[in-house]
Chain A
């Protein structure tokens, strides 16, 4: 009897974890749809800014989900729904496909790396992740991805190389983003004093208005200064960390942005997964410039320039030419 009681108590203890563990969500088209829709409903940051009625989206798409639909059909339906948000930071990933919204669609290309290499770069160097050269007594750096690490030593080398020149062109055209920390490291070499670069709020609850308090971000100078007068070249493919870099550089009085509006990507992406194993990302924050301009749809250049066909035919990059003229 005594041992029965002891064993019963032990079994009771062992089973008392079970009520807390709810069942896993079912791996069905309905449940995968519900979790994706609800996750965005509670955590996506731009419904109001983009004037999207997400409940109406549910009403339109939920009836189209069938228990017997194939994975490909479900993929098609979900990506069609996600397209409504027009957000390059929203993606859906399976082992055989990745969906993302083509934020650059319809914009002029405005960049060709091989054209630049052939017509401008001459005897260029690649210092760390930074392609660099001197064109008409102006320093030039092409940074193709913010995933490429930038070391302080690289920047010190470039500061020495570009010392005494008329200015510096930072070309981030076609830079689709990466790690913003690399942008901070680069931008610290241009800022003249501690400056307010932008302000951000993050979702912090499931309600539409559940956001953190505004967080004003500041940047301070650090290390050898790269140049006094700077031009940043942008196009519509410049995205995400590239967009944030353009935003912070726009806050500096010695910097001019030339080219096209950046592609945007002003919400910090965060990821999760569905019961069927598809992973997805979505924007979770809102960032605005010191003047209140929200950067989700891009940062406007100070001088809007597109690549003219006649310049291309003449072996010239209109946007780079404008930058060189600006810095003379």
Chain B
């Protein structure tokens, strides 16, 4: 079966090239500090989910990021929609024993950071703030029959910190930034103990069942970390090329423990608007 139009790789590449051309050769934009961002890349995942398999699954799905960032002298706010889609599999997988999942991950996040003047006296400027993230990780594993859908959905409030410094490369001011985030309070939705919904009840309510088994967790039972190292390089029109390395890990200490790690590399274009 063909992929939906938007996700077909060729169309994505064309769209991305168009976006770069617009950014590089477009007319000079007024000096405002708002950016729209489109990034493409790949993310290496490692996932241990006993609802999927006793084995860890790994893979490097396609990564897409859409973002909107607003920068003021004393604050940064960022709204981002990031998606990974591809295939994860076990190291024991063969052509005849696929041991694989189709993998879809979508994160919608909002981050707000305030500059911390007391710490920003040196070459680094530091910001501190919080974030909200809606994390959806879905894996479809056909060999598991009725238990073929596993998911991890978390609504999280957390703390963020960012340090950045500017320096010159070829007479251009390049910004290197690092952002770290910790989940403090999360609402987590996971499949049931059996990874099975009550499909033999004609009146079953899938969402109600899942919400009844959901949990509110603090950092100690849902430890995780998000780290983003990014380099923003100015191009024409006040726009930027942005290279980012995202590293993320979480451990869900619930009834069906999950360990998930992600190392993502994306190259993006930021249009100043």
Residues of A within 8 A of B (CB): 10, 13-14, 16-17, 20-22, 24-25, 27, 35, 43, 93-95, 180-181, 184, 197, 200, 202-205, 215, 217-219, 244, 268-279, 281, 284-285, 287
Query: B97 touching A284 by the CB < 8 A rule?
Result: no
B171 on the interface (CB 8 Å rule)? no
Query: A215 touching B201 by the CB < 8 A rule?
Result: yes
Query: A203 touching B193 by the CB < 8 A rule?
Result: yes
Query: B199 touching A268 by the CB < 8 A rule?
Result: yes
From residue A212, how far is it (CB to closest CB) to chain B in Å?
8
Interface bits B244-267 vs A (CB < 8 Å: 1, else 0): 000101010000000101000000
Residues of B near A17 (CB, < 8 A) are 46, 249, 259, 261
Query: A279 touching B201 by the CB < 8 A rule?
Result: no
How far apart sit A275 and B50, CA to CA, in the bound complex (Å)?
12
Residues of B near A197 (CB, < 8 A) are 202
Known: A270-B195, A271-B146, A275-B55. A13 touches B99 (CB 8 A): no
User: What are 9 of the A-B contact pairs (CB < 8 Å)?
Assistant: A21-B259, A21-B261, A180-B199, A268-B146, A270-B144, A272-B147, A273-B54, A279-B144, A285-B200
Residues of A near B143 (CB, < 8 A) are 93, 271, 273, 279
Task: Please give me the residue from chain B that is nearest to A218 by CB atom.
Answer: B203
The answer, among B196, B199, B251, for a CB contact under 8 Å with A181, is B199
Known: A21-B261, A218-B203. A275 touches B54 (CB 8 A): yes
Interface bits B89-104 vs A (CB < 8 Å: 1, else 0): 0111110111100000
How far apart sit A184 and B200, CA to CA, in the bound complex (Å)?
9
Known: A180-B199, A277-B99. A272 touches B144 (CB 8 A): yes
Query: A203 touching B194 by the CB < 8 A rule?
Result: yes
Interface residues of B in 39-97 (CB under 8 A from A): 46, 48, 53-56, 90-94, 96-97
Task: Please give me the residue from chain B that is nearest to A200 by CB atom.
Answer: B200
Residues of B within 8 A of A (CB): 46, 48, 53-56, 90-94, 96-99, 143-148, 192-196, 198-203, 225, 227, 229, 247, 249, 251, 259, 261
From residue B102, how far is it (CB to closest CB) to chain A in Å?
15
Task: Please give me the residue from chain B that is nearest to A268 by CB atom.
Answer: B200
The answer, among A22, A200, A285, for a CB contact under 8 Å with B48, is A22
How far apart sit A277 and B48, CA to CA, in the bound complex (Å)?
16
Query: B93 touching A284 by the CB < 8 A rule?
Result: no
The 8 closest A-B pairs by CB, nearest first: A277-B97, A271-B145, A95-B96, A17-B249, A279-B143, A217-B201, A271-B144, A184-B202
Residues of B near A279 (CB, < 8 A) are 143-145
**Which of B46, B99, B193, B199 has the most chain A CB atoms closer than 10 A to its own CB?**
B193
Query: B259 touching A20 by the CB < 8 A rule?
Result: yes
From residue A88, how far is it (CB to closest CB) to chain B in Å?
14
Query: A270 touching B92 by the CB < 8 A rule?
Result: no
Residues of B near A10 (CB, < 8 A) are 229
Query: A180 touching B46 by the CB < 8 A rule?
Result: no
Query: B199 touching A273 by the CB < 8 A rule?
Result: no
